[in-house]
Every structure is written in structure tokens, then in C-alpha cells.
Amino acid sequence: MAKSFHPPVRTLMGPGPSDVNPRILEAVSRPTIGHLDPAFVGLMDEIKALLQFAFQTKNALTLPVSAPGSAGMETCFVNLVNPGDTVIVAQNGVFGGRMKENVERCGATAVMVQDEWGTAVDPQKVADALKANPDARVLAFVHAETSTGARSDAATLCKLASEHDCLSIVDAVTSLGGIELDVHGWGADAVYSGTQKCLSCIPGLSPVTFSDRAAAAIENRGRRAQSWFLDLELVMAYWGEGAQRAYHHTAPVNDLYALHEALVILEEEGLQSAWDRHQRNHDALAAGLEALGIEFVVDREYRLPQLNCVRFPDGIDDGAVRKTLLNDFQLEIGAGLGPLAGQVWRIGLMGFASNQKNVLLCLGALDAVLRQQGLAVDSGAAVAAAQAVYAAQS
């Protein structure tokens, strides 16, 4: 006979999920109401307005997809990419590869623009690819690569797309709430995110937003999307303004309570304050890691403050370190992916998890574990260096 499951209480400093704000854990447990209840319809309107705030847009087509970020990605592709289309995909990590998969499963051709993992997408290469493929209809790229910690210049890439009459599809899973994301200012056409990164919400939903240009492309595509569940023409009949809320699928009511609370918290803090906080805690963590002799994969200019991808010292047993951190410190950090597997750690400082306590815990724990592993560590220097950054800031 199975028993109730009581999870260990971890500190989540991996690539997500990140530590969930207790206010959000309380919100998710509020009593369930029906997905057609007038009170729920009011909640949907507020969530839409709060997502528009978070994305910095007035796009009417802004809503949370009822599934994780990869479903948000698929929503963008199945609604905007038609069979036979050419799509330029910039890849500088795992998620560009997943975009390629999506393009191909839509019966379209992906023209890949490759950049080294850990670097930003090179706008010049993208411009060249757009010129070489005048029939391309879409440019897709990742704003904040969770697999490497690199930030790409979304403003420039969206502008390039628009100049070449392409729609832009932007992966903002790890950027929303953590760094500047200006959907309107950049003219991004289709943007998807996740709840479990810098919104510090539970995982399971994917906020998306589509420009009027993208919405028009969906209306005029002259075919049904290959997915019924992700077909925005149907989803919008439920989420749309003034619509009669036509039943599409049963909304994940409690998850939406959680997302609403996460967005209320973000609005209370303010976007700029949230971004500043992510930067401050990153600066402190970076000072501490440098004191431990640990180097960043990504050049300073392109580093994501919320996802710190660092090379661990030679001779270190990657698996053993992460296991010790988890078992002895209840601390989760992330392993490397793809070509970076076995070479890097990914240390997240996302949303609620981006705080001084976590920075100092992580540095203190790494200090202890690296010493255990026989590395000559100037013990205490990491925490002191981080603390000095905080002292200088205050």
C-alpha cells in the first residue's frame, strides 16, 4: 500500500524549477472552482493583464498554455509554421535543437545557424542566413539559453526578422522576470516562457504572447493546426476578450492560482527591481566563485545573471560533488548538457531563489565540498567575497 509522499525540503539552484515562493505554494492549494465559473473568468482576465505587464506588451493574444514550456514552444511552431515553409533557426545550445525538431515535425525545413555553446547568437550570421533564404517565413532563436547561460541580443534579432519579412519566435523560458524582456519594444512576434524559472512558480504552465502580425498569420493560414490541443484559434475562443468563453479544455485551475500569485508578486516588486535583484545576486555569486577559482563559460557581456554556467576545476568528480550538495546540504545545482556535460555546473539564481541566503549557502557548500575533494581552497574567501559585494551595494 503506497503512502503519502513528503518531499525533502531542497534549495533549488539548478536550471529550474527554482525555489517556489511560499505565497505561491499556499495559493495553489486554494479551493478548486470550475473553469467556467464567473469568478474564474475574472481570474483569467487578471492573469492575461499581468502577463501583458510581465512581457511588456499589449498583445491581445497573451495567455498561459496549459502545459510546460516545451508545449509553449510547440504552440508557437504549430500555429505559425506551415508545411513546406523555410524557418531559420539559430542554435547556440540545447533549445535551438529542440526548435529544429519542432520545425521538422511541422513539415517545414529548418535552416540552422550555429554558434558555439556558451556564446550568444551572432546577428551577422543570422542576417546572412536571412539574405541567403529569401523565402524564409520565420526566424526562431533562444533569448536566454538555459543549457549554457548565454543571453542573445533579442532586440537586434527581432529587428532582423522584421526587416526580412519574417516572424520571430523567441524562447524566453529563462528570461521572463529575470532580465529585460521587451516584447513590444523589440517587435517580437511569438514569445513563450515557463513558470518554473524566474517567476518562481510551480512548473506546468507556459505563458505565451503573439503580436497582431502573428495573430493575423494564424487567422489567415487557411488550414487547421496539426495539434488540436495547442490550436490557438480554439484556445482563444476560451481565453479571448468578450468571447463567450467557449469550452475548449479543462483549465488547470489551481496551477493558474499559482501563476496569478507569482505575477502579483512580480508586479509588487516591479520589473526593473526584479532584474536589478537578479543582477545583484549574480554579482555576489560571481565574486565568490572567482574566489574559488571557478570560471564562467560565458563572456561577461552575455552572461545571464539567473543561470550561471561555470567550469568546475580539473580533477573534480562532478557527480560526487552534486550528490554531496544534494544529500548533505539539500542543495540542487544543475549538471552540464550536450557538449558541456561533465565539464560545467549550472547554478541558478532564479526568481525567489535569487537571494543572499542562497548565494552564501551555495558558496559555503561548494567551498566545503571542493575541500573534501582535495582541492586547495582558500576557505572562507568565497563567502567573504560575496558578502563584500553585498556590503558595497548597500
CA distances from 299 to 47, 49, 285, 335 (A): 36, 36, 16, 19
The contact pattern for a copy of itself, residues 326-365, with x = CB under 8 A and - = no contact, is x-----x----x----------------------------
Contacts to a copy of itself from residues 91-150, by CB under 8 A:
98, 101-102, 104-106
Candidate list 118, 178, 194, 288; residue touching a copy of itself; CB under 8 A: 194
- Which run of H or E residues covers position 163? helix 154-163
| 259 Cα distance to chain centroid | 14
Q: Pick the piece of the chain touching a copy of itself (CB under 8 A) from 119-127, 150-158, 160-168, 246-254.
A: 246-254
33 touching a copy of itself, by CB under 8 A: yes
In the chain, the amino acid numbered 9 is V
- The helix/strand/coil state of 276 is helix
Provide the minimum distance between the beta carbon of 236 and a copy of itself in the complex, in angstroms, as a whole number. 15
Separation CA 161–CA 89 (nearest Å): 11
The answer to the question of residue 171 lying near a copy of itself (CB under 8 A) is no
391 lies in the binding site for a copy of itself (CB under 8 A): no
387 exposure class (CB count in 10 Å sphere: 0-12, 13-18, 19+): middle
Size, binding site for a copy of itself by CB under 8 A: 82
Residue 245 interacts with a copy of itself (CB under 8 A): yes or no: no
Binding piece for a copy of itself, criterion CB under 8 A, among 151-159, 252-260, 297-305, 376-384: 252-260
In the complex, the smallest distance separating the C-beta of residue 183 from a copy of itself, rounded to whole angstroms, is 19
305 near a copy of itself, judged by CB under 8 A: no
The yes or no reply on residue 4 touching a copy of itself (CB under 8 A) is yes
> What is the DSSP code (8-state) at residue 221?
S
Residue 222 binds to a copy of itself (criterion: CB under 8 A): no
Residue closer to a copy of itself by CB (options 261, 367) is 261
State in Å, rounded, how far the first CA of the chain is from the last one.
54
- Out of 2, 222, 272, 394, point to the residue binding a copy of itself (CB under 8 A): 2
Distances in whole angstroms, Cα of residue 121 to Cα of each of 87, 92, 194, 273, 313: 16, 6, 21, 27, 27
Pairing, β 295-296 against β 167-171:
unpaired
Residue 93 DSSP one-character state: S
Segment lying near a copy of itself (by CB under 8 A), choices 9-17, 154-162, 212-220, 286-294? 9-17
Is 237 a binding residue for a copy of itself by CB under 8 A? The answer is no
Q: Which long-range contacts (C-beta less than 8 Å, at least 24 apart) are formed by 4-9? A: 8/330, 9/330
Q: Cβ 202 to a copy of itself, closest distance in Å?
A: 4
Q: How far is the CB of 57 from a copy of itself (least distance, A)?
A: 17
* Strand arrangement, sheet containing 136-142: 61-65, 206-210, 190-192, 167-171, 136-142, 86-91, 109-114
Choose which of 41, 163, 247, 374 interacts with a copy of itself (CB under 8 A). 247
